[in-house]
Amino acid sequence: MQPFQPFLTRRFLLATLAAGVGFFVLGYGAILLMPKANSAAVIWPATAFATCVIVRHARDWSRRSVMLGAVLVADLLNNALNSDSGTITIAFSLINIAELALAVTIAQKGWRSLLPPSALADARLTIKAALLPPLFGGTAAMAATWLAGQPGAFIAGLHWFIADALGFLMIFPIGMRISWRQFAKQQLGRRWPLALASAVLLAGCSAAVFRFDDYSLKFLVLAAALFVTRWFRLVGAGAGIVVIAAAALSGPMPQLVHDAVTKVQFLQLFLAVCSVLCVRSALLLNERDLHVAVIERHRRRAVRASRFKSQLLAHVSHEVRNPLSAIIGFSGMLEQGLLPAARAPEFAAIIAHNGELLQRLHDDLLDLSRAEAGALSILPEPVAVDSLLRTCVEAMRLDESLGGKPVLIESVPDRLAVNADPVRLAQILNNLIANAFKYGDNASPIRLRARALEDGFGRIEVVNAGPGIPPSERGAVFEPFRRSAQVGRNVPGAGLGLSIAKMLVEAQGGRIDFESEPGRQTRFWIDLPLAA
């Protein structure tokens, strides 16, 4: 029992049941349509149906063997219900299973090469599946009939080959492609009036055309089937074949052919042609839809890139204007001697400060550009979190532009280490701490924490008291050039710190997020893989 336990899944059992029941129903119908004088059925879609089910739901031969066994039971049950229990009948059942195994092998190998779907590759696989397995089955049936001493061995093998080949051409293209996702994509619940009108049109056209002894009129049915395929793709192609078959078998075709064998073979040939053409048309339409979707996606991306470029130029020009004006103005005044010599160091410091602002803006824009292009240089190594936090805090305390707010390091394990680029991690923490300096409450300290998580990541938190982030602005926190409307332009910087921090964290396989309580505090954190 233990080796078969992996098979006992609901999906596999349902697929096995579908393969057996489907083979039984289609096989029983084919036997009912078979003239009594024939030893082989003249219509046989059962093998093609079982092939599609097995290929799509059994990925290894252990599972396929179970499904093949279910199909064999269904075939033997068919023969028992039709009072066929001779040696030749059992031989035919075994030939059916051998042919099915060959078809599954061919279809499985070809099916892997059909991703993404291609109309030409699909047609090649259909032709291969419609020729090789039926040829094997027909030859084996002819040999079995001859060895059993029954007359008409060649005719039996020929009928076997034609019936199976046409069955594959009719069932295989649709069976290998159609899925519940296709039904959901067509939105039949919303488009039911069009679906109903298409079914009535196709059924009426089939019932009317097959009553006339004129082969040229039969192409009207194909035109109607292609019309349905145009609107409903593979779902329309599959439903169209069913509607045409039902309409034709319900009574038409009386004058078209006179003997039963030729009548059934003609219908199956016609359905096979309709199936191949409709499925190929559906695949070509799907390919067109895919290309249109790709083009539309690239167009939207280009529009977003153009819009971002315009916003970038506008923001950069605005951010550059003030420090550049200060540098030019004060340097010109110093050059012309318009400022008191005693205050020259003060104005030189202002010039240097604005130069540093421009340098930071340049570095931030360069990092942003590299991150979006996927060209960031990341050199990960084990980094001691406690040591890095202390280095960042000391650097922040030396930055007079941040106001000298106290920074406290709380609850950081001594041996906590993460796998990260130390330079980039320091840049991330500097951005988060600087953000807390700018937007936090001046009277409250900034608190830094770190701990190991159970999922193999180390978390570093930056917590500050202050106005917090309004719910309406939380979706844009990590977008470039976005700053809270509550502070407007009063906070220095270009609004790039958090967006760059997010890109740097994600480039190192980490996560970044935040929680904010308006009027109380904001907590940002980053998660990076723990060092081994």
Tens of pLDDT, residue by residue over 425-441, are 988 898 888 888 887 77
Please give the average per-residue pLDDT across 294-300, as a whole number.
92
Q: How many CB atoms lie within 10 A of CB 369?
A: 12
Q: Does one domain contain both 142 and 52?
A: yes
Are residues 358 and 446 located together in one domain of the fold?
A: no
**Would residue 197 count as lying in a domain?**
no
Is pLDDT above 60 for 284? Answer: yes
pLDDT computed for residue 229 by the predictor = 86
Q: Which residue has the higher pLDDT, 420 or 272?
A: 420
**Domain shared by 364 and 385, yes or no:** no
Q: Write down the pTM of the prediction.
A: 0.54
The per-residue pLDDT for 461 is 94
Where residue 483 sits, what CATH number does that domain have? 3.30.565.10
- 444 is a domain residue: yes
3 state SS of 530: strand
Confidence check: pLDDT of 36 > 60:
no
pLDDT class of 417 with cuts at 50, 70, 90: very high
Q: CA-CA distance, 473 to 495, in Å (whole number)?
A: 14
pLDDT band, residue 260 (cuts 50/70/90) = low
Beta strands in 411-445 (DSSP E): 417-420
- Looking at the fold, whether 22 and 140 belong to one and the same domain comes out as yes
Residue 3's pLDDT band (cuts 50, 70, 90): very low
CA distance 79 to 83: 6
- Within-domain flag for 240: no
CB burial class (10 A; 0-12, 13-18, 19+) of residue 347?
middle
Sign of the four-CA dihedral 419, 423, 425, 429: positive
3-class SS letters over 179-235: CHHHHHHHCCCCCHHHHHHHHHHHHHHHHHHCCCCCHHHHHHHHHHHHHHHHHHHHH
Query: Are the C-beta atoms of 197 and 268 separated by less than 8 Å?
Result: no
Distance in angstroms (rounded) separating the CA atoms of residues 280 and 287: 10
**Rounded Cα–Cα distance for residues 368 and 500 (Å):** 6
Is residue 285 in a domain? no
Highest mean pLDDT among 115-119, 292-296, 309-313: 292-296
Q: Does one domain contain both 368 and 396?
A: no
255 pLDDT band, cuts 50/70/90, is very low
Based on the fold, state whether residues 403 and 525 are members of the same structural domain.
yes
> Which residue range(s) make up the domain with 329?
298-373
Task: Examine the pLDDT at 246 and tell me if it is beyond 90.
Answer: no
Answer for the pair 133, 106: CB distance below 8 angstroms, yes or no: yes
Q: Are residues 4 and 58 in the same domain?
A: yes
Q: What percent of the chain has pLDDT over 90?
A: 20
Q: Which residues of 456-472 are buried (b: 16+ CB within 10 A; e: fewer)?
A: ebbbbbbbbbbbbbeee
Mean pLDDT for 58-81 is 90
Domain boundary among 135, 153, 176: 176
Residue finishing a domain among 176, 199, 214 = 176
Q: Between 529 and 83, where is the model more confident? A: 529
Q: Specify whether 520 is located in the same domain as 410.
A: yes
Q: Which is more confident, 124 or 450?
A: 450
User: Which residue has tokens 């982030």?
Assistant: 469
Output the six-digit token pair for 478.
């990590």
In a domain, 239, yes or no: no
Give residue-wise pLDDT tens across range 44-56: 889 999 999 999 8
The verdict on residue 282 lying in a domain is no
Report the interhelical angle of 46-57 vs 61-81 (nearest 10°).
150
Going by C-alpha positions, the residue among 340, 511, 514, 337 that lies closest to residue 436 is 514
Query: What was the pLDDT predicted at 2?
Result: 44
pLDDT tens for each residue of 376-394: 778 889 999 998 898 888 7
pLDDT of amino acid 180: 75
C-alpha separations of 362 from 208, 276, 345, 369 in Å: 76, 61, 25, 11
195-215 average pLDDT score = 80
Single residue among 339, 373, 407 that ends a domain in this structure: 373
505 domain residue, yes or no: yes
Same domain, 419 and 346: no
Q: What percent of the chain has pLDDT over 70?
A: 84
Q: Does 445 or 3 have the greater pLDDT score? A: 445
Task: Give the residue from 161, 179, 226, 157 showing the smallest Cα distance to 198.
Answer: 226
Asked whether residue 365 falls in the same domain as residue 456, the answer is no
> What is the count of structural domains for the chain?
3
Residues 361 and 386 both lie in one domain: no
Q: Dihedral through CA 513, CA 518, CA 520, CA 524, nearest 10? A: 10
Please report whether residue 209 resides in a domain.
no
pLDDT in tens, 140-152: 999 999 998 888 8
Helix, strand, coil % in the chain, rounded to nearest 5: 70, 10, 25
Is the same domain home to 155 and 9? yes
CA distances from 444 to 262, 405, 428, 463, 492 (A): 93, 8, 22, 10, 20
**Burial (0-12, 13-18, 19+ Cβ within 10 Å), 320:** middle
